[in-house]
Structure 1
Amino acid sequence: MGIFDYFRSKKEPSSASVAKERLQIIVAHERGKRSGPSYLPQMQQEIVAVIRKYVEIDEDQVQIQLDNNDECSVLELNVTLPD
């Protein structure tokens, strides 16, 4: 029976360890959001409102990212427009 136990021991990770890894990813993602300025979510909503005056888009089609360098901050705006 010892050889069968060797093959059985290679099970998938426990659900607790998978949940822990997922929680770590979520926490890291939330920390990244916290480091950004508080006005970014409101700015994204306002940009979407302006774009909607001309083109029908969903809010999830607009991505805003702020990159901080030593000398300046760069605001990157990506909008996926329909064809």
Structure 2
Amino acid sequence: MSILDLFKRRTSAPVARERLQVLLAYERRSRGQPDLVSILREEIMAVIAKHVQIDQDYLQVSMDRGETMSTLEIDIQIPNKSAVPLAMAG
């Protein structure tokens, strides 16, 4: 990694993936935190809203916690009319 890489703009997918990994690592340490799913839902909605227009009712996030592993399930319904990226629509 060079010093110039520090000033490059990162794409949203790796940034979102990194945030999700940090949140999941934090969740593993604090199993009793009830608001994690709602925090994840808001973060995911914000990232998706940068690219396509979706209704909040069409985003469902659930988390199943096991003894050794937690599973995060994300269900997103994108209507055909808003499948065009926001940058191209306007």
The two structures have a TM-score, normalised by structure 2, of 0.48
Deviation sequence 1:22-65 (CA, Å, 0-9, x none): xxxxxxxxxxxxx7732221221111111011111011111001
- Alignment of 1:64 with 2:61, yes or no, is yes
Which ranges of 4 or more aligned residues in structure 1 deviate by more than 3 Å? none
CA distance in 1, matches of 2:49, 2:59: 11
Q: Which residues of structure 1 form unaligned runs of 5+?
A: 1-34
Aligned CA RMSD, in angstroms, stands at: 1.7
Q: Which residues of structure 2 form unaligned runs of 5+?
A: 1-31, 81-90
| SS of equivalent residue, structure 1 residue 76 | strand
- Alignment of 1:53 with 2:50, yes or no, is yes
- Alignment of 1:81 with 2:87, yes or no, is no
- Alignment of 1:41 with 2:42, yes or no, is no
Q: In 2, are the aligned partners of 1:63 and 1:77 still within 8 Å (CA)?
A: yes
Which amino acid in 2 is paired with 1:47?
A: I
The sequence identity of aligned pairs, in percent, is 35
The two structures have a TM-score, normalised by structure 1, of 0.52
How many pairs does the alignment contain? 49
- The structure number with the bigger radius of gyration is 1
CA distance in 2, matches of 1:36, 1:64: 15
